[in-house]
Chain A
Amino acid sequence: MLAFIIRRVVQSTIVMLVVALVAFALFRFVGDPIGAMVGQETSLEDRDALRTALGLNDPFVIQFGRFIGNAIQGDFGISYRLQQPVMELILQRLPATLELAFISGLAAFVFGVSAGVYTALNRRGTISTSIMAVSLIGVSLPTFLIGILLIWLFAVELQWLPSFGRGDTVELPGGWTTGFLTSSGRQSLILPAITLGLFQMTLIMRLVRAEMLEVLRTDYIKFARARGLSNRAVNFGHALKNTLVPVITITGLQLGAIIAFAIITETVFQWPGVGALFINSVRAVDVPVMAAYLVFIALIFVIINLIVDLLYYAVDPRLRVERSAARH
């Protein structure tokens, strides 16, 4: 177990170092930082002196080390486009993204599990068949088309919900802005959250359904029924409990995917989050923001994967055997 943890941590560190190297290369080799800082009249000697003073003539390894040191302290320089410290920009927009990701992840989990259980228990019902058909559409529609479709239906045709932005926000102590406390904030959240969560919901639903069908066939369920336990106790106490291990793992892994797909959703709904910031930076080739986002998203993924992997390993002893058998 300890060896496994150490191996995973080492692997994660290597991934982070590689990502940091790419981010640093972006930083260092795209454009000339000196050219951006001084005017045309500056002589070559002055430029060289400035270069030395800023440490740009140091060996590559030392510069990379300095970059990592700054990155650990959260210093990624100043955005070319917005002229603000990058870390400040990201922290300003982080609450919007996290709130959206949290709500859509939660909704996907709750609705996914309930729909999965329902379709597994009533396999041939009309409602189950229609849920499965809708889920097929949910899987094959690209995220941005789902968003546009929802905007067209609920914002343009029915005019029930706002089509863009976050609505009114309230600033909590600690600089966290939240849209949960105002009614316009909550309304603005609905369409983006559905857009972002629909794919994850169908995924969870299909997984729960498949696992439930599998478990319902096993002997201990038959014995539980033979003992005269109520349907409710068998279905939820015995069957559902045993399907949840893989479901929780997949949901955990999908958290990262939600944050990644938030880029698309935020663009469709002009949601002022980190993903929209990144897309605008790619369009404007705003290198410091791109580099910081690269490191930031890699860190989130590495941490989520690490936690899920460790949970996986801790929760299900069978996997330990299978995995070590597969490796050798």
Chain B
Amino acid sequence: MSETKTPGRLYRMWDSDIAYSFRKSPLAIVSGIVALVIVLAAVFAPWIAPTNPYDPSSLNLMDGFSRPMEPNAFTGNTFLLGADNQGRDVLSTILYGARISLFVGFSAVLFAMILGITAGLLAGYRGGWVDALLMRIADVQLSFPSILIALLIFGVARGFIPPSQRETMAIWVLIIAIGLSDWVQFARVVRGATMVEKGKEYVQAARVIGVHPVRILLRHILPNVMGPVLVIGTIGLALAIIAEATLSFLGVGVPPTQPSLGTLIRIGQQYLFSGEWWILLFPAMTLLALALAVNLLGDWLRDALNPRLR
């Protein structure tokens, strides 16, 4: 509308350094498109999936093990990516599965981010014993692989939940377990950045005029430490998606009534030996494409936000 005099918000975004670096990196564009397509397909799964794989009335066991793109010998139905052992359309299970994988991944990263940012701001700003205690815990946790931490937390939490609620609570337990296994990265980076920002004039000035410490932390320091947090968050998302898939593959993640990509791979693995490769291959490729795309986006974001590395 008034692009010549006062550029609109969209134009300013298009013109920013980050957008420029995005346009100049083919790898980032491809990964961005792949990630966007999978996320959109997952979000709109109920509208774009050919069938609802978890509606028992729409399933026909005779459709089981239909090969991709070939009409079924008994029913004559054709499935783009084939059908699994129960006659569910593999494409639809992937769309619904990616939905659950992404939901768990995003929620776990968000949880880890909130936890890590809070701990990091507190440790960096207060210092003293709070800092010492939090960083000691972080050190200890960092010496264990995060998938092991998630697995142990999940196992322990499962023990404490009454058997009747295990199925319904599983997804939340999973989110908390993966989140708790991943907060350390955020806490460390935020703590380091906070300690630097704390000494700068604008924070000193805010403190002198009597701004409440919580307000200083949230309104003044937090926006200035968000760059690295976003980078870790993006790479953390890829790790969380893989962690969820691994736990579900091991049969200790989301319940079988809500299969994620990991659960689908677990189911598909059972049919690999008898030659029904499509039940395994397509979910595995989706998982791989998603994790790789998000990972590459994270790498690109790190380079874009940190020009010194170029």
Contacts and interface: CB of A to CB of B under 8 A. Distances in A.
A30 B145 contact: no
Contacts of A22: 156
Contact of A144 (B143, B148, B249): B249
B264 to A, nearest CB: 12
A127 interface: no
A145 B156 contact: no
A222 B165 CA distance: 68
Interface string A255-296: 011001101100110000000001101110101001000100
B159 A30 contact: yes
B159 A142 contact: no
Contacts of B156: 22, 26, 290, 294
What does DSSP make chain A's interface, helix, strand, loop or mixed? helix
Nearest to A26: B159
A260 B147 contact: yes
Tell me which of B148, B155, B284, B295 has the highest count of chain A C-beta atoms within 10 A of its own C-beta.
Answer: B155
A143 B246 contact: yes
Nearest to A260: B148
B123 to A, nearest CB: 15
Nearest to A19: B152
Nearest to A309: B143
B162 to A, nearest CB: 9
Given A142-B246, A142-B291, A290-B159, A148 B251 contact: no
Contacts of A290: 155-156, 159
A315 interface: no
Interface string B280-304: 1000100110011001000000000
A151 interface: yes
B176 interface: no
B299 to A, nearest CB: 11
B74 interface: no
Contacts of B147: 260-261, 264
Contacts of A263: 148, 151, 250
Nearest to B143: A305
Nearest to A298: B144
Contacts of B232: none
B252 A140 contact: no
Given A140-B295, A152-B272, A285 B250 contact: no
Contacts of B251: 267, 279, 283
Contacts of A264: 147, 246, 249-250
Contact of A260 (B144, B154, B242, B291): B144
A282 B252 contact: yes
A256 B151 contact: no
B198 interface: no
B160 A267 contact: no
Can you list the 8 inter-chain pairs with the closest CB atoms, starting with the nearest?
A260-B148, A282-B155, A30-B159, A260-B145, A257-B145, A142-B242, A144-B249, A305-B143
10 contacts: A140-B292, A142-B287, A143-B246, A144-B246, A145-B287, A145-B288, A268-B269, A279-B250, A282-B155, A287-B159
Interface of A: 11, 15, 22, 26, 29-30, 140-145, 148, 151-152, 156, 163, 253, 256-257, 260-261, 263-264, 267-268, 278-279, 281-283, 285, 287, 290, 294, 297, 301, 305
